[in-house]
Amino acid sequence: MMKTARILSQGDEITTGATVDTNSAWLAERLWMHGVRVLGTASAPDDVELLVRLFQDSSRDCELLVSTGGLGPTTDDVTAEAAARAAGVPLVESAAALEQVRARFRVIGRPMTASNAKQALLPRGAELLENPAGTAPGFAFDLGRARIFCFPGVPRELYVMAERHLFPWLAAQGSVPLQRRRFHICGVGESVLQDRLKDMALGDGVRIGYKTWLPYNTIVLYGDPGAADGLAQAAAELRRRLGEDLLGEDETTLPEAVGRLLQARGWTVALAESCTAGGAGALLTEVPGSSAWFRGGVVAYADDVKTALLGVPAGLLAEHGAVSEECARAMAEGVRRAVGTDVSVSITGIAGPDGGTPDKPVGTVCFGLALPAGTLTRRAHFGIRGRDLVRALAAATALEWLRRHLARPEA
Amino acid sequence: MMKTARILSQGDEITTGATVDTNSAWLAERLWMHGVRVLGTASAPDDVELLVRLFQDSSRDCELLVSTGGLGPTTDDVTAEAAARAAGVPLVESAAALEQVRARFRVIGRPMTASNAKQALLPRGAELLENPAGTAPGFAFDLGRARIFCFPGVPRELYVMAERHLFPWLAAQGSVPLQRRRFHICGVGESVLQDRLKDMALGDGVRIGYKTWLPYNTIVLYGDPGAADGLAQAAAELRRRLGEDLLGEDETTLPEAVGRLLQARGWTVALAESCTAGGAGALLTEVPGSSAWFRGGVVAYADDVKTALLGVPAGLLAEHGAVSEECARAMAEGVRRAVGTDVSVSITGIAGPDGGTPDKPVGTVCFGLALPAGTLTRRAHFGIRGRDLVRALAAATALEWLRRHLARPEA
């Protein structure tokens, strides 16, 4: 029998629209993968009366309630109080919770304030749930036939605590998760991917899903428990169809894929950035241990910095402009020389909102890729997508271009 | 009397986590801006029974219900059916709705299918709401004392329809928007702020809220219509208490605040980054027009790049290590010289997960700030917060440190 659940999120930031509730989607997907049917999500502002009613109403028709938010130290964090009232028990100070809060402050090296002590007040009888990533302990309690888990609203803390407390509880209740395989792509439109995959046969118990967050796509294959063979066959077919567009699977990210390919060749890389101003370097070094293959780079925002630190000739800038394939070539070659690496990538473009021309509209970005065998350049147009997105697309496109070249035997 | 509302979203894509519900946040913010108090948001899967209950339960304690999703042509779009059952009326074909669907298909030049005719079935007595951006007409009806608006789930269609149908209705009901003032802080704990402000007197109709997203805090003052004086007084008191911790108000971001201060002095800035690898530069240049005061920088990830491009003496690195205030000083002075700016900031630290020592644990970051009057250094410990967060905290801390110095008359 499939379990049923509801998901609650708490806080004025949700009900005034200050925050988009990504926690509920995260929980919903994971509960669904654990075979739990989510009957709904709901939120309430920081209002004890409304929260009490939400706990009581929501627990009436399901076996599991997962709540996020409202566990902080401030007066508007009222989840524990509402939970206690809903369950008809008093709030009591938990010595174990207080010790967890204290220990957390020792770890982060900051003084614990009086208001943090409030975080150790739990409904009497509640189970304390350790939070290894923050100061707010979580707790679980029973209301009617529902088990209620209260987690913090900080996503990073929620994820760790769900892994530690919620999923093991589900497993103990006999839930068997779906198998999931994820296939990541950068810079290919979703409709292009769907067209390429639409006639793909999926065996019984295997489903496919798409997720897009520009410029990335993730194709997800889900397999029912027992459909392992069908899932493996579908994964093999998907790899064949995606070819070199497939940058990595499951936990692999674009910078990790680049790092692995560099490491396999024993190569190092440098970056020369203009419009991204360091964004590509920050992205590439998200990978722990990236110092094994990333040496550094130059952020050349002003034109004369391109000349002084990268050796881009002033005459080239005067003739072609900073946003040109000529400049991108000189930047890539300059940084490869200055930093002393095997390969380098350069980015120079117009992020906007101003600075565009009819010839080079906002969103125009030029790239250079200096390899031992020579230097390549290309130009891309990211349209009028807003400054932040143009810069994010430029940084990811640069790394994806590097990845494709490193993945080719002849590079 | 302030109106109260609830927001509903419908569809399996919400309750399985395939889609993050941005519609509810969009509606919540706009309802708040129109002076409506949102008592909660809620979602249900494509299930008539659950939707009927959601309509009935949600309409009990508020005057307005706004629902998105479930108006499409497929069998899992069941909003109209659920609305009719909740209201106890039959579904009837609306000639006007059918004509709207037909007209829409003429506009997009596609044949109308039989399943699209289903979109013209509305609860008897419902008001038809024209959809100028898609095929699904919306509708509005009364349930108890609540007015219920049903809009499509496609965000683009929702936005247009809310502008056309919902906000004019609110204005006709006499809704007057709340006033909001936001105060931004970087690098001060939420509980420290709370303690500093807890005895602050707020006049009638003025409330205070906190929002934290590390390392930032936003304190929000909300004023009821008519509480303009009280809001202004509270804002003045808040400014006095926050002093130099206040980095900016309302739309102002940390990089904007830094940019304004630089511009006021006619100064330019450069960055030397190690562990952040460009993240501080990317953050600083989020501001359009930052080229007026940001010239560039050096990402010196490898030690010998610190020596080659920033002139950090090899002997200094051997004696003190790259993560040291001595190295941070040399990096800041080196990049100020190399890029040719008035001021510069350097960042060198251990982001982790590896590389820590008992003396310099993971999370140790050293900063340098080279000003015309001399160079300052400092060391911070961001604890074991994970590589990404240590890097984000380091970048923001560097810019916030720069901001505080630029804001002081003697800098």
Q: What is the pLDDT along chain B (411 residues), one digit of tens a residue?
A: 568 999 999 999 999 998 999 999 999 989 988 889 999 999 999 999 999 999 999 999 999 999 999 998 878 889 999 999 999 999 999 999 999 888 888 877 778 877 788 889 999 999 999 999 888 899 999 999 999 999 999 998 999 999 999 999 998 998 877 788 999 999 998 889 988 998 998 989 998 888 888 899 999 998 888 899 999 999 999 999 999 999 999 999 999 999 999 999 999 999 999 999 999 999 999 999 999 999 999 999 999 999 999 999 999 999 999 999 999 999 999 999 999 999 999 999 999 999 899 999 999 999 999 999 999 999 999 987 889 999 999 999 999 999 999 999 876
What pLDDT score does A1 carry? 54
CB contacts, 8 Å: A352 with chain B:
288
Q: What is the residue type of A31?
A: L
Residue of B130, B148, B146, B225 lying closest to B180 (CA atoms): B225
**What ipTM score was computed for the predicted complex, to two decimals?**
0.82
Q: Which of B4, B10, B15 to mutate to test the interface with A (most CBs of A within 10 A)?
A: B15
Q: In this complex, is the C-beta atom of A311 within 8 Å of any C-beta atom belonging to chain B? A: no
Q: In this complex, is the C-beta atom of A144 within 8 Å of any C-beta atom belonging to chain B? A: no
Cβ of B211 within 8 Å of Cβ of A278? The answer is no
Cβ of A15 within 8 Å of Cβ of B38? The answer is yes
Q: Which two tokens stand for residue A322?
A: 């900073």
CB pairs under 8 A between A and B: 264
Q: Which DSSP letter does residue B120 get?
A: G
| B106-111 contacts at long range (C-beta below 8 A, 24 or more positions apart) | B108/B135
Dihedral over alpha carbons A357, A359, A362, A367 (to 10 degrees): -130
The minimal CB distance from B354 to the residues A26, A288, A297 is found for A288
Cβ of B194 within 8 Å of Cβ of A74? The answer is yes
Cβ of A72 within 8 Å of Cβ of B212? The answer is yes
The minimal CB distance from B20 to the residues A20, A42, A297 is found for A20
What pLDDT score does B411 carry? 62
Cβ of A277 within 8 Å of Cβ of B288? The answer is no
The minimal CB distance from B384 to the residues A107, A282, A284 is found for A107
Query: Buried (b) or exposed (e) across A149-158, using 16+ Cβ within 10 A?
Result: bbbbbbeebb
In sequence order, which residues have a C-beta less than 8 Å from that of residue A306 and are 6 or more positions away? Answer: A274, A300, A312, A317, A322, A327, A330, A331, A334
Contact B317, B327 (CB under 8 A): yes
Q: What are the Cα distances from residue B395, in Å, to A210, B277, B292, B365, B386?
A: 34, 10, 20, 10, 14
Nearest-Cα distance to chain A for B99, in Å, is 30
CB contacts, 8 Å: A75 with chain B:
194, 198
Q: Are strands A294-300 and A269-273 parallel, antiparallel or unpaired?
A: parallel
Adjacency order of strands within the sheet including A206-213: A206-213, A216-223, A179-186, A246-249
Q: Which residues of chain A have pLDDT under 70?
A: 1-2, 411
Model confidence pTM above 0.95: no
Q: Which two tokens stand for residue A92?
A: 């009591």
Task: Find the residue in A nearest to B193 (Cα).
Answer: A74
Measured from the Cβ of residue A378, the count of other Cβ atoms closer than 10 Å reads 14
Concatenated DSSP letters of B269-333? EEEEESTTTTHHHHHHTTSTTGGGTEEEEEEE-SHHHHHHHH---HHHHHHH-SSSHHHHHHHHH
Cβ of B191 within 8 Å of Cβ of A113? The answer is yes
Q: Which DSSP letter does residue A78 get?
A: -
Q: Which of A53, A61, A74 to mutate to test the interface with B (most CBs of B within 10 A)?
A: A74
Q: Measured at the alpha carbon of residue B217, what is the angle toward residues B214 and B220, in degrees to the nearest 5?
A: 150
CB burial class (10 A; 0-12, 13-18, 19+) of residue B232? middle
Nearest-Cα distance to chain B for A193, in Å, is 18
pLDDT tens column, A316-352: 999 999 999 999 999 999 999 999 999 999 999 999 9
What pLDDT score does B176 carry? 78
CB burial class (10 A; 0-12, 13-18, 19+) of residue B24? buried
Q: Which DSSP letter does residue B353 get?
A: S
What pLDDT score does A158 carry? 97
Nearest-Cα distance to chain B for A88, in Å, is 23
What pLDDT score does B2 carry? 65
Query: Buried (b) or exposed (e) across A362-372, using 16+ Cβ within 10 A?
Result: bbbbbbbbbbe
Q: CA A301, CA A50: separation in Å to the nearest integer?
A: 52
Cβ of B299 within 8 Å of Cβ of A20? The answer is no
Task: Find the residue in A nearest to B39 (Cα).
Answer: A44
Nearest-Cα distance to chain A for B131, in Å, is 24
The minimal CB distance from A38 to the residues B15, B277, B291 is found for B15
Q: What are the Cα distances from residue B163, in Å, to B24, B41, B80, B131, B169?
A: 15, 20, 21, 11, 10
What pLDDT score does A195 carry? 85
The minimal CB distance from A288 to the residues B31, B190, B353 is found for B353
Q: In this complex, is the C-beta atom of B383 within 8 Å of any C-beta atom belonging to chain A? A: yes
Q: CA A312, CA A320: separation in Å to the nearest integer?
A: 11
CB contacts, 8 Å: B30 with chain A:
17
Q: Are strands A138-143 and A343-349 parallel, antiparallel or unpaired?
A: unpaired
Question: How many Å separate Cα B398 from the centre of its chain?
Answer: 22
Cβ of A50 within 8 Å of Cβ of B28? The answer is no
What pLDDT score does B118 carry? 85
CB burial class (10 A; 0-12, 13-18, 19+) of residue A111? exposed
Q: In this complex, is the C-beta atom of B165 within 8 Å of any C-beta atom belonging to chain A? A: no
Q: CA A403, CA A203: separation in Å to the nearest integer?
A: 32
pLDDT tens column, A355-381: 899 999 999 999 999 999 999 999 999
Q: In this complex, is the C-beta atom of B251 within 8 Å of any C-beta atom belonging to chain A? A: no
Q: Which of A15, A22, A76, A306 to mutate to test the interface with B (most CBs of B within 10 A)?
A: A15
Task: Find the residue in A nearest to B47 (Cα).
Answer: A39
Q: Measured at the alpha carbon of residue B30, what is the angle toward residues B210 and B158, in degrees to the nearest 5?
A: 135
Cβ of A14 within 8 Å of Cβ of B25? The answer is yes
Q: In this complex, is the C-beta atom of A208 within 8 Å of any C-beta atom belonging to chain B? A: no
Measured from the Cβ of residue B113, the count of other Cβ atoms closer than 10 Å reads 10
Residue of A48, A153, A45, A14 lying closest to B28 (CA atoms): A14
Cis amide prior to A215 (ω within 30 degrees):
yes
